Structure 1
Amino acid sequence: MLRRFAPLARRLGLTAARCPVCGTVMADRTRPLCARCAVELPLRTGGYCPSCGEMYGREADPPTRCAECRLTPPPWDGLYLHGRYAGLLRDLILGFKFGNSYGRARLLADLGALAYGSGRGLPPDLVVPVPLHTRRLLWRGFNQSLEIARGVAGRLSVPLSTEALTRTRNTPPQTRLGVKERQANIKGAIAARPDLVRGRRVLLVDDVYTTGSTLRECARTLRRAGCEGVEVLVLARTQREPD
């Protein structure tokens, strides 16, 4: 009986609002997260390089391009991120990617859209996810970057393209490789459709930035296909171990 009235109760706002992370009932329906989880998922607003996302110093420091990106700028115009790949954010991404927590897609898209909206005025012309090869997609069952990009595109009211970029070669997982191996592994494995991206400003979306090898190959491929501009949005950025 209660199930029959559940949709009506939701429309009338009679159901309890729960935190999508921990399930705690929230008194304030306007907040996306409970107070405890919101503290654990802060948006990084400073103390990082706006080109590669490398974090340094204090979070209160303004975003400043690192020495490496000044010498060798990445093939995109800007990078947006939500936070460090650690703690609750890391748990959410891993659970979504490998733990069958598909219900977290909406929350992760919210975090991505928040990160992009905090530092940008005009939306892109097109949102494009980092692609998976067909074999990899069949093995995993879904492309986590696509699901995040789909949500971000909807929140920005921007078209999403699943065909602008494709994987032309089934490469070994990047997580098993070093920096130079990753670069060689992904080189030439991405193709773009000029008819979909030429003259357009593209927002390239992925879940985690590690070495940036895949993102760089995607961005270069988009540039060669005639993109007017490329920006990158990631949920989290891993940090290099100190020397």
Structure 2
Amino acid sequence: MAEPILLNQRDNVVVLPDRLDAGADPLGLNHPLPKGVAAGHKIARQAIAKGAEILKFGQVIGHASTEIAAGDHVHSHNCDFADHSRDYRIGADLDAARAAIPQMQARTFKGYLRDNGQVGTRNYIALCATVNCSATVIRRAAAEIEASGLLDAYPNVDGIAAFAHGTGCGMDMNGRGFDILDRVLWGHATHPNVGATIFVGLGCEMMQIARMQNRAGGARGCSA
């Protein structure tokens, strides 16, 4: 049998992790249960006087509606809701908790601090297609750049990534689909692991680069 669970030292009840049959004495108080009790139910740790507070998680969850002996099952048959003080003293022990935390030297890592305050752990160039028609272009461009060794001269650049999709052409400029695509493309462009973004379009699509630039207001590292 698993030990009853004490959730807070202030509690006058414990929680049973397993179902117990009649005759069990989970707290060793020589006070066997008269009938079975389901898992998750409460047992009194100590005698609780009629009208006294019943504490669980260190908080008042009710009042004893009758005298409760140590080892008794505590449930709706002997526990009532009633008004009580609600001064939960949130954060009262915070200073003590802070004092117990050992002081350590501040840790750092090699990251990229972006203009918006985000920090990246990589520094990629992003090629983003605004329309499905330019998907092949950006994939081919990314492959050619990687194969050429062009980025070898820039050790701070981790690589180039192509972000393609299958839409952007004949679509409603004010619809939900357009808003989602716009948000996803801009999410690629402004991801903290992206140092610069190039948008590639065909020119006739509904997802226009100029519109995105106007909305973004010349945000960092994004060009057409």
The alignment's TM-score, normalised by the length of structure 1, stands at 0.21
Higher relative contact order (CA 8 A, sep 6+): 1
Which of 1 and 2 has greater Rg?
Answer: 2
More helix by share: 1
